[in-house]
Structure 1
Amino acid sequence: MAVLSGWQAQALPLRFRVDMRQQTVSPSGVHVAGTFQNEAGYPADWNPATTALTDIDNDGVYELTLNVPAGTYLYKFVNGNSWAGAEIVSTDCGFDDGGGNVNRQLVLGGSALSLPVVAFGGCNTQVRFAVNMRGQTIPRAGVNVMGNFQTLAGYNANWNPTAIPMADANGDGIYEVQVSLPAFGRFQYKFVNGNALPAAETVPTACGTADANGVLNRVLDATTAVNAPPAVCFGTCTPCGASPTNYTTHWWNDAVFYEVFVRSFYDSNGDGRGDFAGLTQKLDYLNDGNPSTSTDLGVTALWLMPMMESPSYHGYDVTNYKATEPDYGTMAEFEAFLAAAHSRGIKVIVDLVLNHSSSQHPWFTQSASSVTSPYRDWFVWSATNPGFLGPLGQQVWHPRNGSFYYGIFWSGMPDLNWSNPGLKAAMWDATRFWLDKGVDGYRLDAVKFLDEDGRVLENTPETFRLLEEFHDTVKSVNPNAFTVGEAWSNTASVVPYVLNNRLDVCFEFDLATSIINALRLGNPAGLRNQLNLVEQSYPKLQYATFLTNHDQNRVMGEFSGNMARMKQAAALYLTMPGVPFLYYGEEVGMLGAGVDEDKRKPMQWTAGSQAGFTTATPWRAVNSNYPQFNVATMQADPASLLNHYKQLIRLRTTHEVLRKGYFLPATSSNAAVLSYARVFGSEAVVMVSNFGSSAVTAPAVSLAVSSLPAGSYRVTDLYSGQAAGTVTLDAQGGFSNFAATLPALAANETWMLRLESLVTAVTPAAAQSMALQLYPNPAANRVQLELGPAAALTSQLRVYDIQGRLLHTAPVTGRRHTLDTSKWANGTYFVRVQSGTAVTVQRLVVAQ
């Protein structure tokens, strides 16, 4: 179940109705099962026996009314009380769950819904609305559609702007919803940016039809089983469906982040601890603000680990959310650092710990002092020990003054009670405080544990709702502020955190693990699979890549000091899609394993005393490898790991295709070679990386299909600058068995092959005005193709999968054509239309 923005607290009447007159009704009766059952108070979702419908008036129509929160729900009817009697739902009106099981779907917004009667196993008329909201500021109430079809669809009134919320499930800016109607007809409608009539769009005369009051509305003719008007830009007549080659990116997609533990970076005052002043002194190492120099590392954004007041070295137990850690310096010194970073073009985000505070925070000490304390409910208390353990088998209930409080990580870090309005207001106030200081966003620690629900401790609906409020709080202060979350889980569990205006990105832990494991094994197969999964799962480019962080053994130790693997790992994650994060000292091969303090040791600046970190005794002993692995020594060696990182970061910053290009898998003739492409506009970079233990001579690489135009392309290795031959792209934008004219690809070496067209691309006017649109995109069951006015009377359509296999071919008569994608696997496809001599290609994503 997906809870809809703006309506989280409302429980509304929902009425199911199914016509069983053509069925022999089971003695066990008729039931309905789905994702609504738990929310309606039943023990579990998808139980075919607990939610019975009745036919009180003996007309053959079985009904049930219950109350559930607003949201999007899946369901199906059951003739009997077991899955053997479940109806088979057609893809015309159902949604595939990805496993071949098709369910019905309903959207419950701000009013009651009495679903139209539908025949068991049958379909009513379906209407799919879609609107492109790029460039619009979307309020928390979201985007809605209203019209004179609403009472027919079972909502309480026509022209109700609150009843039918739309959703942008994949972050492409296209908001969509599907509505079931019991009859054909001509209907008027319009979109609403919010849920109030003043926020309704003004429909232009060119595509508007006046109602009885002279108000212009959009019109649709629902004359077929499935009706899908093309996506339009809000308030315009312009068809503008999703264009996956022109997806939305943000400033963080252009950034390379550097994670800093301030205590360990540089000590400016000789007390053995790093501080803000020391960090300021070292900014020129990170980025001196001059793009023409090559002495700096070149990172463009910093993530500061906890820097608020705390009694612990790590800072994750905060005692004052509006104060700096005294060990690091004053607020004035933090502000001076922030100004110095910004003057060099460096963005700064800071750790914000929302899950818990310190047990020494005044809020908690007052909460623990008395059951009548006004702060008592700011934390989670129980008179007795509930007895259950945490997800790792740890104690989560801790005794204090005769009661027990909840703290999932440690007794010194009691969890905050986000159900308390006072606590929530105080935390949102602290959130605004640092944004007002000028920080550019937040990294959220332990985000999946924010708001537990009884014994359900992670990934709860309450956590997702809380993050939506957090999003609104942050963006109300700075719409361009960036949020990144640590949801340390598998990919499928992480994705919901970056949907529905929750967080901008999350760290992709499975991908990081796959990179390290593939290099250890000398086999890229697992990494190849994970890259494909990530590509299919997230909104385009909206996830964070990294190797290891402050909670994990450092990557240099993971590779047992193998410098070639270190360089290869860097070449991979700094050229992949996503937002890269580099852990301080990774670029000089720092070691660290075991207890957390040893993963966060002082930065290694020189081969001198205490690694150049401090003139005193450091808070934690420096690594033993610092004499060889330090900034000064590596800067002087052109072949060093540090200079390798500088080159990779510089290439990523220089070439837009490495920051914004979409991902395509490529193949190699050698099983030990991983290849993939990044494509953006008319440019591509093909990565070729050898995971084997021996050199590979002229590995043949193939790219099945892309959106690049056919023709000859010059190939250059970006890293070395060497010419690597030419390649000819076919009509599908692909090539077969290309071998670069470079020396053998050494073990753990990576080529970055840039493809530049040898012909100045001049798109014929006919091709430009063909203007192929695909909607919806991503698609589930069907996709509509629409061509511009220059298309010939008959065009030729071909569809290829991401491996370049021709899946479908058909003539297109006129400017519109419908593709049935219901039996296609989830993934990326390329739709190619030739009209006369003009050819246009678009990427299509199928997500059932």
Structure 2
Amino acid sequence: MKKTTLTNLILSGSLFFSAMLPTQHVQAQQNKASQWPRGITYEIFVQSFADSNGDGIGDIKGMTTKLDYLKDLGVEAVWLMPMNPSPSYHKYDVTDYYGIHPDYGTMADFKEFINQAHKRNIKVVMDMVLNHSSNKHPWFIDAAKNENSPYRDYFVWTHKNDPQTQKEGKTTGADSFNTQHWHKVNGSDYLYYGYFYSGMPDLNFDSPKLREEVFKIGRFWFTEVGVDGFRLDAARHIFPDERPQDNHNWWVYFRNEMKKANKDVYLVGEVWAPSDIVAPYLKGLPALFNFEMSWDIAKAVNGGRGDSLAIKHARITNFYKSVNPDFVDATILSNHDQDRIMSTLKNDMNKAKMAASLLLTLPGSPYLYYGEEIGMKGKKPDEQIREPFLWDAKGKDKSRTTWMKPVNTTDETVASVAAQKKDKNSIYNHYKALIAVRNGSKALTYGSIEPVQMEDKSISAFVRNHEEESLLVLHNLSAKELTVSLPANLTSYAKAIYKGKGSQQKGASVVLPAYSSVVLKK
């Protein structure tokens, strides 16, 4: 059972428009103000992204050929979903923490990918699944059949008559609907703990031997392979919910150990919860996903009401800064565990563009889920939110993966990258323009946020400040044109560095067409 506290261990241990021209984009990259980890990160499901050898499965060499695409988009880092050997398509149940899944390529392929990414100033973050392994992992296979196995202590066991095994029947977090956490082993009177399901037995972080193995794994990927950071899956569940302090302390302990291998180590954690539960993790995981704002952005855009967004974000930002002044707010619209933002917004292209505009102008260090920039669609089950990326029309697309038949994102429902690049009004060019504006602005990258209240509740208005740069951002979340009268103290914001199609400023008034935005500078 998990009993030992980690506290003592830690104390002793260690001017762009929405249809921007290519020449303007080059200028934007040369004038870049952002610097990762404050820049844009792009999440990739390797299996669906790009196929290099025609077997239908996305792979590392395929990703390598697309690095120039990501560089041109304005991306400064990639987060790769699990790369390790695994019996499942998603690979969140690892059977070898030191290997690369053979469908994806070899370790040499991965090292070359990292090398090529670094040449383009793109960092590489890999998914590290430490909460649990696969029940097909050699550690677990040996531990399950032999109570005296050297790996027995790597997992959590209890006798079938233990009263705690009767405390089932409820979910304990928004990241799992599983209610049965103790699982049987054939021919044994002992049960093992698996928070997500029986195929993913939880690792026992009360075991010193297991902890050292985890440190060894981390050091391997940093020193031997050269990754820049980890996205840490299920960071809230290292210890059970009734031991939150041990969860918080563990990540401080882990980060201290990883800094010995890479002093600039980047760790971003998945803590699927509101800000009050997320905040204590910031001491060990200075970058955490802001799920709360992703929910609020979608709700605001669907409801056409933006007046409270900046207020909410300012509250969360100030709260997190009180815990860790250097925290990195990893903002998102959706990811591989959520319905795609386009589907959440009922496939409304105008609303999807507005969601992107909000994400890229509010505070935070945005993560883009692959395909968001082309408006990919998808609703659960999970396979249908992880469908193949569309690089070109079906007959021309040499990189498209075919490991699954897509249900939501097809040639009939979503335009390919190649088609969208030619369309100045495409969502791809919308993303590209706003990313360039953000990457060229210190205020948008690093700045504070000051909410501005407007008479019309459809308007989301806020000021972003950093050093000498001050920007006024206005978004119209409604389906009708609105004229906004600037308060007297904001009339000095008169130069547009970004404006949506049809937007215009006339003295102290700004005309905002439906679902459009303006960024004004003093």
Letter in 2 for 1:677: V
| Residue deviations 1:545-600 (CA, integer Å, cap 9, x gap) | 11010001101111111111111110111111111000000000111112111110
Instruction: Report whether the alignment pairs 1:304 with 2:76.
Output: no
User: Aligned partners of 2:44 and 2:93: how far apart in 1?
Assistant: 18
**Displacement of 1:514:** 0.3
User: Aligned partners of 1:445 and 1:657: how far apart in 2?
Assistant: 31
Aligned partner of 1:439 in structure 2 is 227
Aligned partner of 2:134 in structure 1 is 358
Aligned partner of 2:309 in structure 1 is 527
1:665 and 1:703 in contact (8 A); partners too: no
Letter in 2 for 1:275: D
Show the 5 A alignment for 1:11-410: 251-287=35-71, 296-384=72-160, 386-389=165-168, 390-391=171-172, 392=177, 394-400=179-185, 401-402=187-188, 403-410=190-197
**Displacement of 1:692:** 1.8
Q: 1:333 to 1:458 in 2, by over 3 A?
A: farther
Aligned partner of 2:331 in structure 1 is 545
Letter in 2 for 1:605: W
User: Aligned partners of 2:487 and 2:517: how far apart in 1?
Assistant: 13
| DSSP 3-state at the match of 1:679 | strand
Q: 1:374 to 1:250 in 2, by over 3 A?
A: farther
Aligned partner of 2:26 in structure 1 is none
The answer to which of 529-538 and 490-499 deviates more is 529-538
1:381 and 1:405 in contact (8 A); partners too: yes
| Residue deviations 1:323-363 (CA, integer Å, cap 9, x gap) | 01111000000111111111111001000111000001111
Paired residue for 1:715, among 490, 495, 516? 495
Paired residue for 1:508, among 278, 282, 290? 290
Instruction: Point out the structure with the larger helix share.
Output: 2
**Displacement of 1:672:** 1.4
User: Aligned partners of 1:362 and 1:311: how far apart in 2?
Assistant: 13
User: Which is bigger in relative contact order (C-alpha 8 A, separation at least 6)?
Assistant: 2
Letter in 1 for 2:147: V
Q: Give TM-score, length-normalised by structure 1.
A: 0.54
| Residue deviations 1:135-158 (CA, integer Å, cap 9, x gap) | xxxx967xxxxxxxxxxxxxxxxx
Show the 5 A alignment for 1:722-737: 724=505
Count of residue correspondences: 482
User: Aligned partners of 1:664 and 1:697: how far apart in 2?
Assistant: 21
Q: 1:657 to 1:414 in 2, by over 3 A?
A: same
Instruction: Report whether the alignment pairs 1:603 with 2:382.
Output: no
User: Aligned partners of 1:335 and 1:723: how far apart in 2?
Assistant: 49
Instruction: Report whether the alignment pairs 1:462 with 2:462.
Output: no
Q: 1:608 to 1:380 in 2, by over 3 A?
A: same
User: Aligned partners of 1:527 and 1:652: how far apart in 2?
Assistant: 19
| Residue deviations 1:389-410 (CA, integer Å, cap 9, x gap) | 2424610000003120000001
CA RMSD of aligned residues (A): 2.5
The answer to which of 523-532 and 688-697 deviates more is 523-532
Q: Give TM-score, length-normalised by structure 2.
A: 0.87
Paired residue for 2:371, among 573, 582, 585? 585
Unaligned runs of 5+ in 2: 15-32
2:378 and 2:409 in contact (8 A); partners too: no
Letter in 1 for 2:361: T
User: Aligned partners of 2:492 and 2:213: how far apart in 1?
Assistant: 61
Letter in 2 for 1:428: F
Aligned partner of 2:513 in structure 1 is 746
User: Aligned partners of 1:613 and 1:298: how far apart in 2?
Assistant: 21
Letter in 1 for 2:210: L
Instruction: Report whether the alignment pairs 1:411 with 2:198.
Output: yes
Aligned partner of 1:421 in structure 2 is 208
Aligned partner of 2:356 in structure 1 is 570
User: Aligned partners of 1:393 and 1:284: how far apart in 2?
Assistant: 41
Show the 5 A alignment for 1:464-503: 464-499=248-283, 502-503=284-285
Instruction: Point out the structure with the larger strand share.
Output: 1
Identity among equivalent pairs (%): 38
2:219 and 2:258 in contact (8 A); partners too: yes
User: Aligned partners of 2:97 and 2:396: how far apart in 1?
Assistant: 32
Letter in 2 for 1:514: D
Q: 1:328 to 1:571 in 2, by over 3 A?
A: same
Q: 1:334 to 1:582 in 2, by over 3 A?
A: same
Letter in 1 for 2:318: Q
Letter in 1 for 2:40: V
| Residue deviations 1:492-545 (CA, integer Å, cap 9, x gap) | 11011112xx01211111110000001111112442442232122112562111
| DSSP 3-state at the match of 2:97 | strand
**Displacement of 1:411:** 0.4
**Displacement of 1:617:** 4.1
Aligned partner of 1:640 in structure 2 is 426
User: Aligned partners of 1:654 and 1:485: how far apart in 2?
Assistant: 27
| Residue deviations 1:196-253 (CA, integer Å, cap 9, x gap) | xxxxxxxxxxxxxxxxxxxxxxxxxxxxxxxxxxxxxxxxxxxxxxxxxxxxx99434
User: Aligned partners of 1:355 and 1:657: how far apart in 2?
Assistant: 37
Q: 1:626 to 1:458 in 2, by over 3 A?
A: farther
Aligned partner of 2:30 in structure 1 is none
Aligned partner of 2:29 in structure 1 is none
Paired residue for 1:695, among 463, 481, 488? 481
Aligned partner of 2:21 in structure 1 is none
User: Aligned partners of 1:702 and 1:359: how far apart in 2?
Assistant: 64
| DSSP 3-state at the match of 1:663 | strand
Q: 1:445 to 1:703 in 2, by over 3 A?
A: farther
User: Aligned partners of 1:331 and 1:418: how far apart in 2?
Assistant: 28
| Residue deviations 1:258-313 (CA, integer Å, cap 9, x gap) | 000000001111111000000001111111xxxxxxxx211111000001111111
1:610 and 1:618 in contact (8 A); partners too: no
Paired residue for 2:217, among 420, 430, 444? 430
Unaligned runs of 5+ in 1: 1-5, 11-69, 71-109, 111-138, 142-248, 288-295, 705-710, 727-737, 756-848
- Which is greater in Rg? 1
Paired residue for 2:463, among 673, 677, 682? 677
User: Aligned partners of 1:459 and 1:752: how far apart in 2?
Assistant: 45
1:570 and 1:645 in contact (8 A); partners too: yes
